[in-house]
Amino acid sequence: MMDGACDRYRDDLMALLEGALDAEAESALLRHIEACPACRAEQAWLAAVGADLEAIGDAMVKEAPPIDVVDEVMAEVARLKAGAATSSPKVVPFETPARRLRPWAWVGAAAAAAAAVLVFWAAGFRITKTTDTVPGPTVVQAPGPQDEQRERTVAQVAQPAPERATAHEGDSTQPGSVDSDDLDRHRWGRTVPIETETTALAALTVDDVLAARRDAITDPGARGQLAQWASLTVEKARALAASDDAPLGAKVGAAQALPPEEAEPVLLAALAASPSDPYVRYKLAGAYAAHEDPESSAKAVEQLTILGEAAPDNALLQYQLAVELFGQGDVVGAMAALGQARELETATAYTGAASRRRVEALVASGMDPELAGILTALTAGAEQYTDLVALGQQLLGYGREQEELGDPELAQDIYESVYEMGTQVAAGASYSAEELAGLDLQQDAIEVLSGFFEFLQLPDSLGILTAQTNQLVSAFEAVGQFFEELDAYFAQQIERSFIGRIADAILNEGDLNLFDVLFGTGDTGADGATPADAPAAE
């Protein structure tokens, strides 16, 4: 057996036996082998086992006579073409679900009349969602131009950023080209910083922020303004990262606004100081994953594995692990991670921890602490929303890849995992942005699965999807109601001294729990004590 000193020759030895070593390396290795009995024995062993294995493979083939399937293949192709000529869905050329996707179209013609437009306010960004209520019985509709048009109106995120990941609208035409450019921009862990107008920021007050929040109920521009105010510029983030005086938490917050390669050393230093901090490790894994080269991907897997052991209940880590493993071509490992993820109850993207670090960074860069708190609270979860939806799109992309490569069963497993991920994200959400991401993930999965089942002509499966869609519409309506309450709350003149408590409640408990934390009622306190009156009542 080779000892530790000879380990470095291991790969060369394998390459030598493969005949793939260059002349210089080969002669160096042969010189070593001549002088090293252990490596000589290793070489002999590997060669002998290799010869045995080749003999086994040859014997297996020898037992199997040559085949001739030309006629059978061409007959099958002729059958497919004949079917296509009669417009049977079964014989539509095998295309990605994305291309044949007609979200909600399959739920029935009557649904169009009952279309409901839900306009959501979600922590600094707005989502306009056009949905159809679902009548029974289900009628699978034939594709048509109107359906294509409607596809583009569903689930679009209005301005400002983060934009909705729209990879499913692109056309992935090659096996292996899983993600569109759109998706690359939204790859999880990758931050797209928004440049801040520093002059306006210097004079910013809490009252300005509250006014913008009121305007944002109807004005997308005001929403954009809030998001901008709450973001560090790259320059400021760099200055914080390089500063000797900035607290570690602030540096971690600054890393959110840095490109992955610059965020990495900051996060590594933070992890050295706090190795059990899940958020830091999570972000570090994300920074590695953003590089998309094998070495970085291996590092991301390493971090996610460590984190997965420390936080075994967080399904999100397993989904991210699956994406990395798919990226590495380890389909078996990725499916195992998905299997593990699906056994869990909830998935969380550490939105609270991220927001609190953001506040630290804004304060360290000179912003008033109260201002930093309320700005971050009002925009909390935007980055996580983008990352979660992009993660789902990546998984769906890998599902499409498997479909294209001839493995519909595996593809279905992946698509269903994305649906499951959506339910887990929604179940674990403390922030409305997370919950919305969970619902959108479910919708994305249902859209893909509907096309998939339609293609395979599985009416029973489509029926199940219809039931899931009904549940989803109800969930969207419930979230929509929450957003309306939130809007109504911020539409009022809020007591200035109450702002700190609102920010703390959101940053520590999540905006979904805001009314519980503030009023202990689960509502806005409007019955008896209005939100504006609430501080006085306490």
Partner 1 sequence: MHNSKRGWVFDRLERRLSSDGRTDEALMVHLCEGDDAALAELVRRYQNDLFRFCVHYLREADAARDMAQQTFVRVYTARERFDATRKFRPWVLCIARNLCLNELKRKKPVSMETLEEYASSARDETGEVMRFPGDGPDELLMADERRQLLKRALDSLGEEAREIVVLRYFERMSAREIGGIVGSTEGAVRTKLHRILAGLRERYSACKDEL
Q: Applying CB under 8 A, which residues contact partner 1?
A: 1, 10-11, 13-15, 18, 20, 41, 44-46, 48-70, 72-74, 76-77, 80, 93-95, 173-175, 294, 327-333, 402, 404-407, 409-410
For residue 232, the minimal CB distance to partner 1 (Å) is: 37
CB-CB contact of 230 with 210 (8 Å): no
Residues in the chain: 538
Residue number, 229 or 288, with CB nearest to partner 1? 288
For residue 410, the minimal CB distance to partner 1 (Å) is: 6
Residue number, 84 or 140, with CB nearest to partner 1? 84
For residue 8, the minimal CB distance to partner 1 (Å) is: 12
Question: CB under 8 Å to 34, separation ≥6 — which residues?
Answer: 40
Q: Where are the beta strands (DSSP E) in 167-304?
A: none
Peptide bond into 137 cis (omega under 30): yes
Residue number, 401 or 444, with CB nearest to partner 1? 401
For residue 177, the minimal CB distance to partner 1 (Å) is: 8
Residue number, 217 or 411, with CB nearest to partner 1? 411
The tokens for 344 are 């869990």
CA–CA dist 254, 242 (Å, integer) = 10
Tracing tokens 């610059």 back to the chain, one arrives at 262
CA–CA dist 266, 246 (Å, integer) = 12
- Other Cβ atoms less than 10 A from the Cβ of 336: the count is 15
For residue 286, the minimal CB distance to partner 1 (Å) is: 21
For residue 176, the minimal CB distance to partner 1 (Å) is: 8
CB-CB contact of 345 with 416 (8 Å): no
CB-CB contact of 258 with 266 (8 Å): yes
For residue 49, the minimal CB distance to partner 1 (Å) is: 6
- Other Cβ atoms less than 10 A from the Cβ of 204: the count is 16
Residue number, 42 or 132, with CB nearest to partner 1? 42
CB-CB contact of 364 with 248 (8 Å): no
Residue number, 28 or 48, with CB nearest to partner 1? 48
For residue 424, the minimal CB distance to partner 1 (Å) is: 24
Residue number, 13 or 263, with CB nearest to partner 1? 13
Tracing tokens 């991220």 back to the chain, one arrives at 354
Residue number, 86 or 149, with CB nearest to partner 1? 86
The tokens for 97 are 């679900």
Residue number, 50 or 312, with CB nearest to partner 1? 50
Distances (CA, A) of 327 to 225, 321, 373, 398, 408: 37, 10, 38, 9, 19
Residue number, 174 or 199, with CB nearest to partner 1? 174
Residue number, 18 or 181, with CB nearest to partner 1? 18
For residue 334, the minimal CB distance to partner 1 (Å) is: 11
For residue 179, the minimal CB distance to partner 1 (Å) is: 15
For residue 317, the minimal CB distance to partner 1 (Å) is: 22
Tracing tokens 């699965």 back to the chain, one arrives at 449
**Separation of first and last alpha carbons in the chain:** 75
Buried b (16+ CB within 10 A) or exposed e, 139-157: ebbebeeebeebbeebbeb
Short-list 336, 308, 314, 324, CA closest to 410:
336
CB-CB contact of 251 with 360 (8 Å): no
CA 454 to chain CA centroid, nearest Å? 26
For residue 184, the minimal CB distance to partner 1 (Å) is: 18
Short-list 184, 204, 180, CA closest to 192:
184
Transcribe 315-365 into DSSP letters: HHHHHHHHHHHHHTT-HHHHHHHHHHHHTSSB----HHHHHHHHHHHHHHT
Buried b (16+ CB within 10 A) or exposed e, 292-321: eeeebbebbbebbbbbbeebeebbbbbbbb
Residue number, 180 or 386, with CB nearest to partner 1? 180
CA–CA dist 162, 165 (Å, integer) = 9
